[in-house]
Chain A
Amino acid sequence: MNDEIEIKPSTLEAFLKTIIQLEKRYAHNERGAKQERRSKVVERIEEVAARELDRA
């Protein structure tokens, strides 16, 4: 929907892989994992955005 912000397909693909790996690591840890997992997701977003998008 935000057509004017460009994200390279390779960036998106790599980012997704990272997220899936992260999710897999937390998959069997039920207690209190949700908040921690979501914080980690935000961390990854921050990393990729800072590296690939903010500078563009």
Chain B
Amino acid sequence: MKLLTIKLLNFRQFYGSQTIVFATDPVKNVTLFHAENGVGKTTLLNAILWCFYGRNSVTKKFEKSEDILSYQAALEKATHAKVDVSFEHEGKYYTVTRRYSAAPGTKGEESLTAYEVVNGNLEPLPASDAFISSVVPKEMASHFFFDGEHAESFASTGNFRQVGEAIRNMLGSTIADCAIEDLRFAAKQYTDDLAALPGDDRIRQKSAELRDAQRNLENVKSAKQRLEENIVVYNDQIAVIDQELSDTRSAKDLQQRRKELEARGKSAATALAEAERDTIRWIGRQALSVVATRLAAETLHFIDDEKLRGKIPSPYNEELVTTLLSEEQCVCGRPLPPGSEFFRNIQNLLRKAGNAEVQSRVMRARGFLGELRVKRSTAPKDLQRLQKAYAAAYQTSKITEQQLAELSQQLSNINFDEIAQKERARADLAQKARAADREIGELNLKLQIYERTIENCAREQQRLAVSSAKALKLLNRKTLAERSADLLKGILAHHEEQAKVYIAREVNEILNATARRNYRFEFGAGFSFDLTFSHNGRTVPRSSGENQLLSLAFIAALIKFCRDRSVFANDPILIPGIVAPLVLDSPFGQLDSTYRVDTASFIASMAEQVALFVSSSQGSPDVLSILNTRVGKEYVLISQNRGPRNGKHSEELVINGRRIETSLFGCEKDMTRIEEIR
């Protein structure tokens, strides 16, 4: 299917009749729409969805979906709006028209008509809804016509059910899914009938047991699947926290460094204090020797000189002189009569006479002065050593203080409470994952028990039913319904596994070409999936940009898968795939500039025909430059307002060197005008 034109008549802000012609060239396959927020990008996307499927199929962003008629048109008493979508499908041309009609004061009514264009004439088709569904089944449409929000959230963590549903939709298994559901419903009805069968209590009892065991088995299977999906989600969340914590790892390093510096500072302070004490001790011990160097030398010289001259100590002893005087006789034997001149001469000797104490004092003084001289010779070296030690300790202390001050400044900017909170959240998630794992083990045991119970009950039920024709009939029908559902389920499961392999391969190819790092995408149990680093297999903590990239890669893979399946028109079970245009509203929302450029380069190849809606922030010059060679048609949506500008900023776009004002005031009508620029 290829879009040719879309004609809008009084559809929302698109007042009057306006037409868009889509690019259909295989190379220049992109139709590009520029529009700022609130001007009509989402409305245009939803115009197609509304036309094909009605108001129940528009996107969430299309608010007040019942308000179809343009306000401006309503002011002018118009009561009709419509959207015509013309397209080519399998070599034929069609126009689908959905009309909206609102008599004043009544709720609007919608009607759909599909036409085949034959020789320029419109020939109505029977069953327009069925025709549209055969061209683009409704369940597949949401993967071809979608808004940025869908592109952001589609492959986000834990969105397994939506992914599974998308794969099943694109696989075309909705009919088979419905059949399984109906067959199981019928089987349950027969089981209930068996359990309520009058007459035979044993069959009734066994059937009731079987029904309960089957119900329990289904519950356990669902619970197990939920737990398995939860574990994947927990691990994804842990990976995100790990990434955040690795960003704060530098904070931990800083903390560690602070501890080391504090220890070093403490040690330097101790060394400094020790050096001070040593210096004081040195002063006590050595300072005298330094300051009294000259005095000591002169004193020693004096003592030695006096000694040489026999003055110190005196050559006679005080005790000897006293004895001579008391005995009044000299050592030579001459008498010393008191009062005699000789006696007085001897008595005068007492003033200078030495004794043991004086001698000892002189000896000690000399010894001390001698020591001072020795100390004086080593003191400077000792002081130098102490000064060096002091200087080293002082320098270490000062540097450490400075480093601590710098660290403190860095640490004051870090929120440690938040880090602790993250650590707790991580521990909590890990605990949950372990608990889920344990619970799965318990459920596996339960599964075995229920399966055995079901087998035994079924055998017993069969044995008992043989004796009752009515019971046997019910059992035959139940068995037919169950086995058909099981068989169908098995066939679908096989197709789903093949689809998963195909999609994983395609997603990996796209990621290899676009992602910044080497990632590996793979499916797990059910439709759970994981994005891991290729080199170590660890889960990638996905940013919103990476989620959007993964979503786009996933959708591209789905579209390709669907296109490849379009050749299997005669599959007995699956609806064949389709070829349809891809209409994307704001697909680059969460991508950074590099990813935008990389994504822009593959987005044009995602489908045979692509329509893109971008705002000026998304359609940056580098993105437009990449897309330029693929753009076949280009439009700008211009907001026209009747009211005055009132100081509002002028908005304009510069496209291909042309300056276009996108927000006009003082206009005749309130509306959005579609202006073709290529």
Contact = CB atoms under 8 A, between A and B. Distances in A.
Interface of A: 1-5, 7, 12, 15-17, 19-20, 23-24, 27-28, 37-38, 41-42, 45-46, 48-49, 53-54
A38 B185 CA distance: 8
Contacts of B459: 3-4
B573 interface: yes
A49 B462 contact: no
Contacts of A24: 175
A53 B487 contact: no
B63 to A, nearest CB: 24
A3 B479 CA distance: 9
Contacts of A45: 186, 477, 480-481
Max chain A CB contacts within 10 Å: which of B462, B482, B483? B483
15 contacts: A1-B482, A2-B461, A3-B458, A3-B459, A5-B475, A20-B176, A23-B176, A27-B174, A38-B182, A45-B480, A46-B477, A53-B477, A53-B479, A53-B480, A54-B472
Interface in B285-314: none
B17 interface: no
B129 A7 contact: no
A28 B137 CA distance: 9
B196 to A, nearest CB: 17
A27 B482 contact: no
A46 to B, nearest CB: 7
Interface in B474-526: 475-484, 487-488
Given A2-B478, A45-B480, A49-B476, 6 more contacts: A1-B482, A2-B475, A23-B178, A37-B178, A49-B477, A53-B477
B476 A27 contact: no
B246 interface: no
A16 B183 CA distance: 10
B462 A5 contact: yes
A48 B484 CA distance: 12
A41 B188 CA distance: 13
Interface string B612-647: 000000000000000000000000000000000000
B474 to A, nearest CB: 9
A54 B475 CA distance: 10
A1 B480 CA distance: 11
B455 interface: yes
Given A1-B458, A5-B479, A16 B186 contact: no
Given A1-B458, A4-B459, A17 B479 contact: no
A15 B189 CA distance: 19
Contacts of A12: 480, 483-484, 487
Max chain A CB contacts within 10 Å: which of B462, B479, B483, B484? B484
Contacts of B461: 2
Given A5-B479, A49-B473, A16 B189 contact: no
B420 to A, nearest CB: 53
Interface in B349-384: none
Interface of B: 127, 129-130, 133, 174-176, 178-179, 182-183, 185-186, 189, 454-455, 458-459, 461-462, 472-473, 475-484, 487-488, 572-573
Nearest to B571: A20
* 3 closest Cβ pairs, A-B complex: A53-B476, A28-B130, A41-B182
Contact of A16 (B130, B185, B476, B487): B487
A42 B186 contact: yes
A3 to B, nearest CB: 8
A49 B483 CA distance: 13
B476 A5 contact: yes
B479 A19 contact: no
A20 B572 contact: yes
A54 B469 CA distance: 9
Contacts of B454: 1
A47 to B, nearest CB: 10
Contacts of B175: 20, 23-24, 27
Given A49-B477, A53-B476, A37 B182 contact: yes
Nearest to A41: B182
Contacts of A53: 476-477, 479-480
Contacts of A46: 477
B455 A1 contact: yes
Contacts of B182: 19, 23, 37-38, 41
A49 B186 CA distance: 13
A45 to B, nearest CB: 5
A49 B480 contact: yes
Contacts of A48: 480
Given A1-B455, A41-B182, A45-B186, A17 B572 contact: yes
